[in-house]
Amino acid sequence: MLNPILQKYGKAFSSLKRGGTKYGLAPHKPVLLISLIELIEKGLVTENKISVNADLVGTFKENWQLLVPTLYQPDFTQPFYYLQSEKAQGNAYWFLQPKPGCQINAHIKSVNTLQAVCAYGYFGAELFLLLSIAQERNILLQNLLDTYFPQQKASFLQAKNRGDGYLHEQVNYVLNEPEAIYKHVSKYTEEDVFVRNGLFKKLVPKLYQNQCSFTGMALTSIYNYNFIDACHIVPFSVSHNDKVANGIALCPNMHRAFDRGLLSIDENYCILVSENLTEDKSHPYALGQLKGKNILLPQQQNHYPAQEALAWHRVHRFKT
């Protein structure tokens, strides 16, 4: 006999309120629930605080492309807000927690604005506990697929097993993989840029083993804080380039000095120090001590800082 709590949410998940359009009933809410379940399954969500980040938005867009064959717009922000209206036996089970000083009283259509004002989304405690159990989680996932996407279910599960799809393609793009083929994207939406920027921030420090490329400093904490930044060499506002070859891992003080042109990198990957710098040269952390030092580089050459990006920085940022 099924767990009565599982039955309650199985019934709620199979009777989601969905707006009618010329393409049929909107698929946004079931795709979001499938995506949230996937993040829990992968261990990317370990507590009942689900941030608006590249993992969530990228997973939603990947699942949308695998499950929705019609011409709906894959708007992540819509179900993230409107799922709050769903109930199980009269009680809501999805909530949004605004950041201090902010309010979320209506659908926020911009994913960047949503991230700026929303601290996290969260399930009711009873549902989150249920989703933390692998067997119950899988039953609810199968229920969603069977109810809303029976024709796409088999191909969806096969693609997931192969690791194919939108998010895989975006990771390949950011990692500057030459063999990557971007099958789905013909024009870039705000959400595409959001996902790539989030992956850039996540992947660049990893390629440098979470060390500052200039100093070798590696600083993390048991709370999963990482104090190494993913720094754009050519600013994104100029280049619109979130490939790791336009990035370098730096600790915050090196990041600021690099952005302000006090430091740069020559064509041999050695550190340049501005002659306009005024500092106490005897100080153990003086920037002048870095002059001529080789930077730390990733293991793969296609992940190295691009020479054209470094040349741009020397011309347009470095204060000689």
Checking DSSP bridges between strand 24-25 and strand 229-232, what pairing results, if any? unpaired
Which region among 9-13, 68-72, 152-156 has the lowest average model confidence (pLDDT)? 68-72
257, 236, 204: which is closest to 309 by C-alpha? 236
For residue 16, give every residue at least 6 positions away whose Cβ sits within 8 Å of its Cβ, in sequence order, or none.
Answer: 29, 30, 33, 86, 148
- Between CA 259 and CA 264 the distance in angstroms is 9
What is the model's pLDDT at position 224?
63
What is the model's pLDDT at position 23?
76
Burial of residue 186, with CB atoms counted within 10 A of its CB: 0-12 exposed, 13-18 middle, 19 or more buried = exposed
Tell me the pLDDT tens digit for each residue of 60-91: 999 999 999 877 788 899 999 999 999 999 99
At 116, list the tokens.
């700026």
Q: Where are the alpha helices (DSSP H) in the chain?
A: 4-13, 28-41, 54-67, 77-82, 111-117, 125-131, 134-148, 153-162, 166-174, 190-207, 236-239, 252-259, 307-316
Is the pLDDT at 186 greater than 50, yes or no? Answer: no
At 163, list the tokens.
């690791």
Percent of the chain with pLDDT over 70: 94
On whether the pTM is more than 0.75, the answer is yes
Tell me the pLDDT tens digit for each residue of 297-307: 999 999 999 99
